[in-house]
Amino acid sequence: MDSELKGLNSKPSRTHQDEPTHDDASAKDDCPLLKSDSSSADNIQELEKKFAAYVRNDVYGTMGRGKLPLKEKLLLGIALITLLPLRIVLGITVLVVYYSICRICTLFSAPSQEEEQEDYAHLGGWRRAVIVRSGRFLSRSLLFVLGFYWINETNKDSENTQENSNAKGTNQSEEPERPGAIVSNHVSYLDILYHMSSSFPSFVAKRSVAKIPLVGLISKCLGCVYVQRESKSSDFKGVAGVLTDRVREAHQNESAPMMMLFPEGTTTNGDYLLPFKRGAFLARVPVVPVILRYPYRRFSPAWDSISGVRHVVFLLCQFVNHMEVIWLPVYYPSQQEKDDPKLYATNVRRLMASEGNLILSDIGLAEKRIYHAALNGNNRPPSVLHQKDD
């Protein structure tokens, strides 16, 4: 991959930039646009063929730096003056209100601690009820503030979907098992707000999220499982064990929060489905597949090859944003799938691709970082290529 990356960036016409990807949470957005000569255009086309799952196809173009038509410039200018400041104020207000609720509900309560994890998901009684109900309401309110005035949700029953290998087994005659996790394709950070508003599950998050002002406490109330993506230490087994235990607990205990997992491990442009990691399926319990889509006319809400700040600004400047959600029936794994988590993950992925009209792709996070590095003129292969990404 090193030689391939150098070949893609050896043209002298490309402007070299040092912008890291949005996965690094410290992306800068001050590098100039790529030059539009023929050699650079050829390189971009070659990149887009190889990394189609991360290519932006909206009006704003590659990395959100495309040449905008006059009409779009006018609409963007109006929104920058009117919508942007209003939505920022309202969004911060919603966040502060929910943080205050979480702070009050966790007063005089010690967080649960296990394997370097810390959360308040174990709270019971009125405290938990207030956290969950207000969290669902305010998450939907925040989506409304962001322009998602209505969300088209579809619930498919087993008769309208491809039946999995165990659908005709004993699960149909016996009492249905409670699923342990929700598995969803990953398109944007907006996915999290939707799932908070619909079922308020626990998520897997970067360890640094727990230290973010306001958001940190909220993530602990959600019961997030924290991981260090770039870590080479031996704590991976411990995190995987905590995650598996949490999925099994949700499966066995109705009062335990459901786990929400994005098995792709990163975001796409919404048209593709990346290979699934096995972590969501190691517990060998039923899961609920969910498919998210963001139809658009001007700006795509997908967080693929665009920096975080630029994405948020453009998103806030859209007068209306759209979201479609497909809830598939609970997927009950067969004994063969329980014995082989990789097979379980593969079969769920194929079902979701079929029902959501998504294209299966065999690339992952490593290739995404190669694509971002190439777009930014960085000849060094990302260090993630030398790490196990499973």
Higher-confidence residue: 27 or 54? Answer: 54
Name which of 63, 315, 286 is nearest 176 in CA terms: 286
Mean pLDDT across the stretch 350-375? 92
Strands 151-155 and 323-327 turn out to be parallel
Mean pLDDT across the stretch 330-347? 95
At 8 the pLDDT is 41
At 312 the pLDDT is 95
At 264 the pLDDT is 94
Helices 215-222 + 125-145 axis angle, to 10: 120
Element (H, E) at 380: none
Q: Which long-range contacts (CB under 8 A, 24 or more apart) does 234-237 make?
A: 235/115, 235/116
- 266-314 tens-digit pLDDT: 999 999 999 999 888 999 999 999 999 999 999 999 998 888 899 999 9
Least confident of 6-20, 155-169, 279-293: 6-20
| Contact predicate 355/183, CB 8 Å | no
| Contact predicate 349/360, CB 8 Å | yes
Name which of 25, 380, 7, 20 is nearest 208 in CA terms: 25
Question: CA triplet 130, 200, 181: central angle to 5 degrees?
Answer: 140
Higher-confidence residue: 63 or 78? Answer: 78
| 340 pLDDT higher than 90 | yes
Mean pLDDT across the stretch 162-168? 47
| Contact predicate 291/358, CB 8 Å | yes
Mean pLDDT across the stretch 184-202? 95
Mean pLDDT across the stretch 201-222? 91
Q: How many whole angstroms separate alpha carbon 60 and alpha carbon 69?
A: 10
Mean pLDDT across the stretch 82-100? 97
Least confident of 50-64, 224-238, 314-328: 224-238
Mean pLDDT across the stretch 144-155? 96
| Tokens representing residue 278 in the block | 């096995």
| 361 pLDDT higher than 90 | yes
